[in-house]
A and B are shown apart, each in its own frame.
Chain A
Amino acid sequence: MNARGRQPGHGDKAVASTQARPLLVARGLAKQFGGLQAVADLDLDVHEGEILGVIGPNGAGKSTTFNMIAGALEPTQGTLVFDGEDLTGLPAHAMAGRGIMRTFQHNKPFASMTVRENVMVGMHRRLKGSLWRVLLAGAGVVRAEREAVRRADELVSFVGLGDWHDADVDTLSFGQGRLLEIARALAAEPRLILFDEPAAGLTPAECERLTDIIRQIARQGIAVLLIEHDMRFLMGLADRVVVLNFGRKIAQGTPAEIRADPAVVEAYLGNVGAMADA
């Protein structure tokens, strides 16, 4: 673990940021599907520039939590406050409109578009405006569009797809598709990015690159919430970790605290190997 090397001072910053007001505050979040309580009474804080990892065995409620914050599912109970504004129950596009962006575990590129155009769709919340101004092709609209192309190319290069701006998305590998997901989310100039199992399906080299990118994103002051199966990947990356089991939070703390927590070890009993590995 230590061999992966945390950035010097990185941990200090996380401590400092926990003292400031959290960007996202979830209180008493709950989701019920018929008789199934998928998530119950969950409190969650995410701070700017912080990487918060959420782990838990299958069926622990990770994805449900993720989808409630992303606006894909409406909470049965509880509140979601983002930057002081109550966003509970808003649809996905409204969440994105406020700077909460997400990636998909199974890449969801816009298949008919090039890499650059995909990233430009991510800029929707900043570019959208009056259709009349689009029709009149005013100088402002033309300039904004040119700037958008430049910024998109910059982001494509940032995630490491530098030579692929004009490529059709179906020519990308799975790992490259994941990088495109990230570039597209960054294009919105998000304040919080939700990653849904970003390491799933990636080669070790790609995971390494992903870790690097996510660290750089957090260093820009963007809050990062990661849902992950891959303990090794998550433990090496997160500033804080929240552990869910049967829809409830059973532990939270730094990766070191989590590894030592008996409740977590208990929850992962069938998975001791994974814990030891991480």
Chain B
Amino acid sequence: MSRIPPVPTSRIPGLLAQQRLTQQYQADQLDLFRLQEQISTGLRINLPSEDAPAALRAISFQRLLDRKDQLGDNIDSGLLFLGSTDATLGGADGVAGVLSQIKADTLGVVGTVATDEQRQAAIAEINGALESLVTLANRQFNGRYLFSGSQSNVQPYIFEDGTVSYQGDEREIQNYSDIGVLFSSSISGQEVFGGISEAVVGSVDLNPQTTADTLLSTLRGGRGINPNGSLLIGDSTTNESSIVDLSAATTLGDIARLIEDNPPPGSTVNVTITGDGIQVNIPGGNLVIQEVGTGTTARELGLLNDQTPGDLQTITGEDLDPQFLRTTRLDNLLGTKATARLESVGEGNDILIESKLNGTAFNGVGFEVFNGGDIGSTANVVFNAGTNTLEIYVDDSGETTAANIVDAINADAALDFTASIDVGDASSPGDAGTGEVPIGTTFSGATTAGGGGSNLDLASGIRVVNGGETFDFEFSSDTTVEDLLNRLNRSEAGLEASINDAGDGLVIRSRLSGGDFQIGELGGSTATQLGIRTLDRDSQLNGFNYGVGVPTADGFDIPVADGVDFSITDSNGVAFDVDLSGIDFTDLSATDAITQIVNEINTASTAALADVTATAVSTGNVTVVELSDAGGGLEQLTITGGDGSLAAQYLGLVPDGSSPVQVSTGTTITGEDSEYTDFTITSNDGQTFAVDVSAAQTVGDVIDAINAATGGAVDAQLAAEGNGIELIDNTGIGALTVTARPGSQAAEYLGIVGADETTVTSTTGTLTGTDRNSVENDSVFNTLIRLRDALDANDLPAIERAAAKLDDDIERVTFAQADVGNRFQNLELSKFNLQEEQIQIRSALSEEIDVDLVQAISDLTARQTSLEASLRATANILQLSLLNFI
């Protein structure tokens, strides 16, 4: 940067000329030096200020390049991991290969012709495959277990005691492939091999109640309250209002405090946190709560009330529906506690009351203050059940403070309530509770309100069966959700218990492959209340027996011939034929079908002038046909099956056989339901009840069907301990028998009678079935263990089922492999793009700060010439003097 000062117009003193020439010479030297440095370093600028815009751009390019270099490293490392995962999954020795081999080898031994040796060979092969698959699943690369999700140093699968348990999680390890773009460099074992069972999703909304500590972010089902909100609170009687800034609030308690601290000028505002929301009260005023500007806070808090006219001292907010967290107290679930605010005139004397338990039973309790005599600074409390009032006795000379009353209430363990001081009523923290509550106060008739729901039965606990072992849990010492979850997770039961995504229920899953998983009760209702019972009234029957369902008798499926189905002869010898082919039995229930058949018989009887009357007789939850003969003739009422028709046999009117005839011994013949019912229950007193569960969809339907059939003699219910359907004989303790009807496997598949049995008898008056609705783990290991066990037992249906599941497993592995391959390709594409980008950035960076050598060298030459000229001129000018000429 050479500067050019102007040449003076008048005289040039010698010293000035010399200085100027020196300056010029130096400027030339400086430029030459600069150019020389540019050429030798290759950089056009050394300090940013030499070309600020270019330098700043260059700096940002340099940083971008630093970032891109790391992104390139990330991609390279991701490609290595995905490549290694792909290699583990694919190929003959990979997961897919091992599974295909097993499938091919076991298909050969499915069927009755396979010998025991062949099966044993297949079993041995499966055992080998199990070992090798566990080894593959536990493969490590670059210090990371490939299949343990985000738990890169946790061995994902542990094979012991005949079961395989998954120790990893379902997450993936992610990293950035570009700024703001994430990719996953791992796939969880769950996605490849499986390992965590389907969730036992809590079907119950545990509906946690709101407290002062409830986080705003958990409200409204987890949508929370928009941050930095504010609301306007006004009193329309004074026309005053104030804006409450809620931006610092994180809990409902904060909101309450901020509103109470910022009332409309001249008014007092009380805020109570009820079990499900906020209640705002303005004593003697008329409350208005509005949004500020276009805010949404008041609406989100359920308090918006901008158009209600009239006298409104209290606004009760809507249900804020909080999610629960690990730290949520268990006693805050499933219901709300009744609360009351005991407001007295003056400061520092308001008391907050809360019931100890949830429920409506604690609502409506009143409070009144009485003279307790000279008792000093103490108080006595007595609950008067007759008036449903808590009587508070205080000192006759006003020595009792609100804090004394609170202490007295809290000290009385028999009371259903606890009390606390309302700190918002005090002008300073030290004054809270120091105020007096005058004798005779009834707190304007305040009563407890807001209690509802039920209390969680923690004492009973749950029974978990997993991997063939039974574990009993009870939670009476647990106070938070986390305690409960930890109790399950820390046990040996192989469980993964967590809060569900919606934050309103629990999810319990099994990590064990190769065993059944059931959650049942332990004498109480804990599992049901938590919604985690694997077998409850809502359980679908089609999910029973690993999805096989519950095969019942086919409902009412009467085989009707085209012609005469049966003939009836009355006691007077009048015979008539009954032809049922005119009835459309499609979609008819047994009862409706029987009604139609009865009508058909009666029509035929009337037409033939016979004295036979048919009626539908109910025996429990099914009906049968009953014929009665009123003719009074000498012959016996007789029914003869028609040629080629089995209708009469089906209805139980004639015995089985080729030419069946039924001759009555009295005047009636009653049909039987054995063809269209599923099982019978015989109670201690000998009554037998036939039960048809063909229409049942759920366990509840089955229980209802049994209860309808037995009419109270035998009660059906879910087992009080564990799972299963339980029958209780109300006719006395003796033999309670359930017998499957031929052709129906319902009793067995419902777990009422044992496997491959047709009857079961209990002598204790209670018959408890087994749980056939187990959850199992959809994993490669589970399939192989099941297949091995089925082969060992030569259980054909189980072998077929396991073989079918093997297909699912292969499909899952293939899918995972495709997923990994796809990611690999995408990542390679990202790498390619990144490399392109890096080249572009480098070229842009070079444009900004690299020297243009051609230009620099030509500049150097030009400058050299200039310097030479300058030197020559200097010499000439300095030599020239008048003195030379005198």
Tell me if chain B binds chain A.
no
> A-side interface residues toward B, CB under 8 Å?
none
